[in-house]
């Protein structure tokens, strides 16, 4: 009888633990920006709220990904190989969302 009682406690503890892990993963606090550009270019995301910025190189397949950006408003600029830059494109990053730019 004691083994059955202990087994039930273990199963209940595991079930509760898994429920909390799932809830923690669902509460992402960052967002992403993905898109396409010309291979070899650099994409820069400047946070308009705090001035921080992140840049990534565009991959050979023309895709880029700015991952784990803090929520807020961003100006996205593409730096071309010839040194020129595209006009800034403003977008809002929200927690748990991925914004796709073309």
- Mean pLDDT over 24-36 rounds to 81
* pLDDT for 25 beyond 90: no
Question: Is residue 72 domain-resident?
Answer: yes
Distance separating alpha carbons of residues 93 and 74, to the nearest angstrom? 7
The number of distinct structural domains making up the chain is 1
Q: What share of the chain is helix, strand, coil (3-state, %, to 5)?
A: 25, 40, 35
- Residue-number span of the structural domain to which 95 is assigned: 29-101
Residue with tokens 């593409």: 78
Q: 77-88: string of b/e by CB count within 10 Å (b at 16+)?
A: bbbeeeeeeeee
Question: Is residue 8 domain-resident?
Answer: no
For 53-85, the pLDDT digits (tens) are: 999 999 999 999 999 999 999 999 999 999 999
Question: Is residue 49 domain-resident?
Answer: yes
Q: Domain of 53: which CATH number? A: 2.60.40.1120
Question: Is residue 9 domain-resident?
Answer: no
- Mean pLDDT over 22-28 rounds to 54
């Amino acid at each position: 009888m004691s083994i059955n009682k202990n087994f039930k406690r273990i199963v209940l503890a595991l079930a509760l633990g898994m429920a909390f892990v799932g809830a923690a993963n669902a509460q992402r606090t960052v967002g992403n920006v993905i898109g396409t550009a010309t291979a070899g270019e650099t994409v820069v995301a400047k946070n308009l709220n705090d001035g921080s910025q992140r840049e990534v190189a565009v991959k050979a397949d023309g895709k880029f990904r700015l991952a784990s950006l803090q929520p807020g408003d961003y100006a996205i600029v593409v730096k071309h190989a010839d040194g020129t830059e595209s006009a800034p494109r403003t977008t809002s990053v929200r927690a748990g969302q991925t914004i796709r730019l073309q």
